[in-house]
């Protein structure tokens, strides 16, 4: 049997981040072949991942970022099991690395992203390596990408939520700053759509039915039930659609008014809001 030195074990540990005993076992099982030992550890990582498949991975890091020209943006959620790991600098750096690759590759889905190379290794294999190293179930569980004229990103609450906003005007210092304010609004107020015209029909009908039921419970005459429900729907639009909401930094304005005050014709085309859990 090949004798494995402490320096060789440490070298493999530096290469892979796996534990000392795991590295020693890998080198022993592969007779000191470093390439085979790395594969051995990846396979072990896959086994660990499988054993932890039923574990809850509700912690993690949310990364939102855009490219240099603000024409594309991504949000990824790299999940883990504990807050301790989620706050680890190496874990957050890994999440940022994944987001960078997502932007560069324009991957269409989380599954497509996992087939991309991150740090010279296919992401799916890297994830297994991290499982072996960290000892927790980790995965890319959410992924969103948008492209357009002017994309602004925002990360809220120590990597617990990410927002992307597409503005309609050519990027400028002023409208990017306004976009950040809008992203903060989205994070805080969780609107259901950009404007009332973007609310889906099932949501409208649900809100109307709630309004009708409330009016009947209040004993209102049947002849005015529909009118009351419509009024409640308008209140829903004001509270729950982005452009109609009161701007959190200045409640005397709606978000729509804030934007046009910043730049003529400025508005929001779409947004994505992703949070842990």
Q: Is residue 84 part of a domain?
A: yes
Cα 158 to Cα 150: distance, rounded to the nearest angstrom: 25
Same domain, 36 and 60: no
- Do 65 and 98 have their domain in common? yes
Which residues have CB under 8 Å from 166's CB, separation 6+?
A: 146, 148, 149, 150, 151, 152, 268, 269, 270, 271
> Which tokens hold the place of 99?
């987001």
Q: Which CATH number characterizes residue 46's domain?
A: 1.10.8.10
Residue 171 counted as domain residue: no
User: Is the same domain home to 65 and 43?
Assistant: no
* Residue 116: burial class (beta carbons within 10 Å; 0-12, 13-18, 19+): middle
If asked whether residues 64 and 40 sit together in one domain, one would say no
- Global pTM value: 0.80
For 226-270, how does the pLDDT look when each residue is reduced to its tens digit (9 = 90+)?
A: 999 999 999 999 999 999 999 999 999 999 999 999 999 999 999
Task: Report the alpha-carbon distance of residue 149 to residue 162 in Å, rounded.
Answer: 19
Q: Do both 69 and 10 map to the same domain?
A: no
With respect to residue 163, please indicate whether it lies within any of the assigned structural domains: no
pLDDT of residue 129: 86
Q: Do 143 and 63 fall within a single domain?
A: yes
Provide mean pLDDT across the span 62-71. 96
Q: Quick one: 61 and 44 in the same domain?
A: no
Owning domain of residue 85: 53-147
Q: What whole-number percentage of the chain has pLDDT above 70? A: 95
Least confident interval from 16-30, 40-54, 142-156, 182-196: 40-54
Instruction: State the average pLDDT over residues 205-221.
Output: 92
Say if 13 falls within a structural domain.
yes
Q: Between vectors from CA 146 to CA 177 and to CA 273, what angle results, nearest 5°?
A: 65
The verdict on residue 188 lying in a domain is no
pLDDT tens for each residue of 160-195: 999 999 999 999 999 999 999 999 999 999 999 999
On whether both 69 and 87 belong to a single domain, the answer is yes
Determine the pLDDT at residue 228. Answer: 95
Please state the domain count of the chain.
2
Q: What is the pLDDT of residue 182?
A: 98
Please say which residue of 89, 120, 147 terminates a domain: 147
């Amino acid at each position: 049997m090949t004798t494995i030195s402490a320096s060789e074990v440490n070298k493999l540990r530096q290469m892979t981040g796996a534990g000392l005993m795991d590295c020693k076992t890998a080198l022993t099982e592969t007779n000191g072949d470093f390439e085979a030992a790395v594969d051995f550890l990846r396979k072990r990582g896959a086994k660990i991942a499988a054993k932890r498949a039923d574990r809850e991975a509700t912690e993690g890091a949310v990364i939102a970022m855009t490219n240099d020209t603000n024409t594309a943006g991504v949000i990824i959620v790299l999940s883990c099991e504990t807050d301790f790991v989620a706050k680890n600098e190496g874990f957050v750096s890994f999440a940022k690395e994944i987001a960078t690759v997502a932007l560069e590759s324009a991957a269409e889905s989380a599954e497509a992203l996992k087939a991309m190379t991150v740090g010279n290794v296919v992401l799916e294999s890297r994830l297994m390596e991290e499982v072996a190293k960290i000892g927790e179930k980790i995965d890319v569980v959410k992924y969103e990408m948008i492209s357009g004229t002017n994309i602004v990103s925002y990360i809220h609450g120590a990597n617990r939520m990410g927002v992307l906003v597409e503005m309609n005007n050519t990027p400028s210092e002023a409208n990017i700053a306004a976009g950040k304010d809008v992203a903060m609004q989205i994070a805080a107020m969780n609107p259901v759509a950009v404007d009332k015209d973007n609310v889906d029909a099932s949501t409208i009908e649900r809100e109307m039915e709630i309004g009708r039921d409330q009016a009947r419970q209040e004993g209102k005459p049947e002849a005015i039930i529909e009118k009351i429900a419509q009024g409640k729907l308008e209140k829903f639009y004001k509270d729950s659609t982005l452009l109609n909401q009161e701007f959190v930094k200045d409640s005397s304005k709606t978000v729509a008014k804030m934007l046009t005050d910043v730049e003529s014709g400025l508005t929001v085309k779409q947004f994505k809001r992703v949070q842990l859990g």
